[in-house]
Amino acid sequence: MLDGLLEATALPNLHPALVHFPIALVAVALLFDAVLFARRRWVSLDASGAFLWVLAAAGAGAAYLAGEEAAEEAGLLEGAAEVALGKHADAALVTLIALGLFALFRVWLAWRDRGADRLAGGALRTLGLLGALAVQGLVAYTGDLGGALVYRHGIAVSRAGAEAVVAAPQPDALAPAAAGTPRFREDGSLVWSPRAGEVSALGSTLEPLGPAEVEVVREASGSEGISLATSGRALLALPGTWENARVEARIDVSGFMGSVGLGARVDGEANGGLVRFHSDGRAALVALRQGHEEVLDEAEERLPAGEATVALSVSGRHWKGFVDGRSLVHGHASLLGPGRMALLLDGTGTLRVLSVRITPMEDRTAAGTGQREPAHQH
């Protein structure tokens, strides 16, 4: 039914339709409380004011859930837009919690003073009015961040803009020196288009974290990418240290069975975030803390039989996993600070890595920049 309603409108999702209810209701509820503070004999307004706060909290909850769904549909965004989206989501959660708690407080306050001819003054009513002003400030701040997503970053302005995919780098788009050698660019990103049979890449560009039953398959130099043969688990760290960033890899899994994925903020084998795609069609986003695994989100998705672009982005506590630009898994976890990006293999067969790109979410002065280019042996 909801899908049918959306198809009849120009709205990409329900969030822009729902978000105006809590904004308007909070403003009216605050007005009721201000009038009550000045006119304490207008007792009949007290219950109405409390009810407005409850409606505002319910509307905020609906808007938040719709916003989470809208974020899932946004696809692979540019770094600055992804950071802005995370800040808006965090502010919305804080606002929702504050609004819910304040609504409960107002209901209790109205129940306490029910039947009175004149509302009692004192600290609680003063605190209530100050709390209402604080909640109004949170709503305004969250709304401003949401407005920036639309008017500054262009999210949801058009379907094409909302779903723009940042494609993995193609070998012919890289400078000749970057082919086979990972390079940090001026914007802080790292690009790598490996050469076929590049045995030295294992241990330099791809650094095993812990035991790894993996080797580079020697192939003709004309082949695209590097083939990694494995018969177990291997977590291979990429160059650089990153905090808020996105790692993308164009891979071919046609000769591989098991789980393949990416890691971010990785610290050894025991800490970090991972997105895994299993050949049986399961996808999972997990957080590792001291070796303990917590599943943040799961989905049913089988990787294409041939080439696919998989990606993992992290911005603050927001983690997302993508396949060919589509967001599949989304979770929240406060993990370590800056760490390594990594490639995960856990299975048997041969995985071909065609290209890799790591993009910092911040500007070029952020983590992952200003580092010397990794040594590369030929």
258 and 222 co-located in one domain: yes
First-to-last C-alpha distance (Å) of the chain: 60
Residue recorded with tokens 């895994």 = 276
The CATH number that applies at residue 342 is: 2.60.120.560
Same domain, 351 and 213: yes
Q: DSSP character for 69? A: H
Domain boundary among 99, 129, 162: 162
Q: Does one domain contain both 109 and 140?
A: yes
Q: Same structural domain for residues 108 and 179?
A: no
Q: Is 199 helix (H, G, I), strand (E, B) or coil?
A: helix
Q: What is the pLDDT of residue 368?
A: 42
Residues 60 and 111 in one domain: yes
Q: Which residue has the tokens 């809590």?
A: 22
What's the rounded Cα separation, in Å, for the pair 35 and 30? 9
Q: Mind listing the pLDDT tens digit of every residue in the chain (378 residues)?
A: 455 555 555 566 788 888 899 999 999 999 998 988 888 777 778 888 999 999 999 999 999 998 888 777 766 677 777 788 888 888 999 999 999 999 999 999 888 877 676 766 678 888 889 999 999 999 999 998 888 877 776 666 554 444 334 444 444 444 444 456 888 888 888 999 998 888 888 888 999 998 888 999 887 555 688 999 998 999 999 999 999 999 999 999 988 999 999 999 999 888 999 999 999 889 999 999 988 999 999 999 888 888 899 999 998 888 999 999 888 999 888 877 889 999 999 999 999 999 999 999 874 433 444 343 443 333
Q: What was the pLDDT predicted at 14?
A: 80
Look up residue 352 and give its two tokens.
């071909």
Looking at the structure, do residues 193 and 304 belong to the same domain, yes or no? Answer: yes
pLDDT at 351: 92
Q: Quick check: is 157 in a domain?
A: yes
Is there a single domain that holds both residue 203 and residue 332?
yes
Q: Are residues 320 and 210 in the same domain?
A: yes
**Of 129, 162, 195, which residue is a domain's last?**
162
Whether residue 307 is found in the same domain as residue 280: yes
Total number of domains in the chain:
2
Q: In this structure, are 192 and 273 located in the same domain?
A: yes
| Structural domain for 253, as ranges | 171-360
Of 120, 142, 162, which marks where a domain is finished? Answer: 162
Output the pLDDT for position 22.
93
* Whether residues 203 and 110 fall in one domain: no
| 372 in a structural domain | no
Residues 274, 242 share a domain: yes
